[in-house]
Structure 1
Amino acid sequence: MKTNFILETDRLYLVRPSYEYLKELHNIHSDPRTNIYNPAGPHLHINETMEMLDTWMAHWLQHRFGYSLMIEKQSGQMIGMCGLTYKNLQDNTYLNLAYRLSPDYTKRGYTKEACNAMMNYVKNDIKIENQILARTKYNNIASIMTAQSLGFKVNEQFNDFEEAGDVYLFE
């Protein structure tokens, strides 16, 4: 790992998104197992991942925070992503918490570890005070449980707000 170090946790390095990890990021976003609840489905071409990565990098340049890549310390492997970006919803600006993890690394607490670090970074170092939300699908139990383990609670008034099946959890 040689670029864009942001944070370090017990088991992870969180780094700014870069083309260095484009192939690994594409592998995660093109894997049907990581897109079961994604209406857009998996990325079919690496160009889709590159366009997504470009928006992530632009957010970092503009706001000094955004989505980060999770690098497992022990292996040096890029295992997923997590982070926060601005989201407008009903005339309010929130921070949208997103996370996606390689299926080979699930159920080990990596997502919670990374999300806690990123939320603390944005609140304490960057000094952003917007409320944080997580959007998922009603049947994405793993994602709901992850958000709840971070202290988020479902706000039913937002159910189905953007798409049928949406559930919004707020910190």
Structure 2
Amino acid sequence: MLNWAELRTERLWLDRPRIDDLAQLHAVHADPRTNMHNPAGPTTDMVRSRTMVEEWLTHWDQNGFGYWVVREDPPGEVIGAGGLRRHDVDGVSSLNLYYRFAVAAWGRGYAAELATKAVELAARDLPGVPVVAIVHPDNIASWKVAVRAGLRPAGHTQHHGGTRLLLSTPAHQKAFGFDTASTVNEVLPSSRTP
């Protein structure tokens, strides 16, 4: 089984969550600014946040990887969460790439640093499984992070009641029926090209 429980990037500590992280994770997920493009909206209920963290921990127990809590190096306050989690997308068993950071951490390239590390680990340890990002069409920042991490357009998918942009590791685009000859502009309107 994989064990990605304690990893470091150039500037970040990526660790398996603990229940002790609940209050700080809740603060990130309850902020309306970090949820502008989240169809479920902010997680304002601490019970819901606890359930979320418990689900993350169950995934860790079953797979040896999952969503990390993110701290700046050296370890300190939780500034975000993200990583990979198993997810079925349009009938394809995939790894969902997720990242959400506190507003104070925006604009520093942390999401791209985390996402790149996650995609690299998946390529090394789970090469046959597509990594995907499901992005709200208005969330250009998230689109750019996924592209910087190496994902490419793979079409659209229905997610939480709406049409979302789907990005995937290049080797897996055809699994989603995406013609790699298609251009980014066919997926994302030209006014929004990253």
* TM-score of the two chains, using structure 1 as the length reference: 0.89
Greater mean alpha carbon deviation, residues 87-96 or residues 24-33? 87-96
Q: Which residue of 2 aligns with 1:19?
A: 19
User: Corresponding residue for 1:164?
Assistant: 162
**Structure 1 partner of 2:172:** none
Determine helix, strand or coil for the equivalent of 1:155. Answer: strand
Cα deviations by residue, 1:14-40 (Å, 9 ceiling, x for unpaired) = 000111211110000000000111111
Corresponding position: 1:132 with 2:131? yes
Determine if contact 1:82/1:100 at 8 Å carries over to the other structure.
Answer: yes
Q: Secondary structure at the match of 2:129?
A: coil
Instruction: Provide runs of 4+ in structure 1 moved above 4 Å.
Output: none
Q: What does residue range 59-138 of structure 1 map to in structure 2 within 5 Å?
A: 59-74=59-74, 76-124=76-124, 126-127=125-126, 129-138=128-137
AA of the residue aligned to 1:146: V
SS at match of 1:86: strand
Matched residues in 2 for 1:33 and 1:85: separation? 23
Within 5 Å, give how 1:146-161 maps onto structure 2: 146-156=145-155, 158-159=156-157, 161=158
CA-based RMSD: 1.7
Identity %: 32
Residues of 2 paired with 1:150 and 1:40: CA distance? 25
Structure 1: gaps (5+ residues): none
> Aligned to 1:56, what secondary structure does the other structure show?
helix
Larger Cα-atom Rg: 2
Deviation digits for residues 75-131 of structure 1 (CA, Å, limit 9, x no counterpart) = 61210011111111232101110110111011111111112222333443x445301
Q: Which runs of 5+ in 2 are unaligned?
A: 170-194
Q: Tell me, what secondary structure is at the counterpart of 1:37?
A: coil
1:49-68 matches, within 5 Å, as 49-68=49-68
Aligned to 1:145: 144
Q: TM-score, normalised by structure 2?
A: 0.79
CA distance in 2, matches of 1:90, 1:32: 29
Aligned residue identity for 1:138: P
Q: Is the 8 A contact 1:65 1:122 kept in 2?
A: no
Deviations 1:32-77 (A, max 9, x none): 0001111111112111110000000000000001100111114612
Letter of the 1:8 counterpart: R
Distance 2:123 2:151 in 1: 16
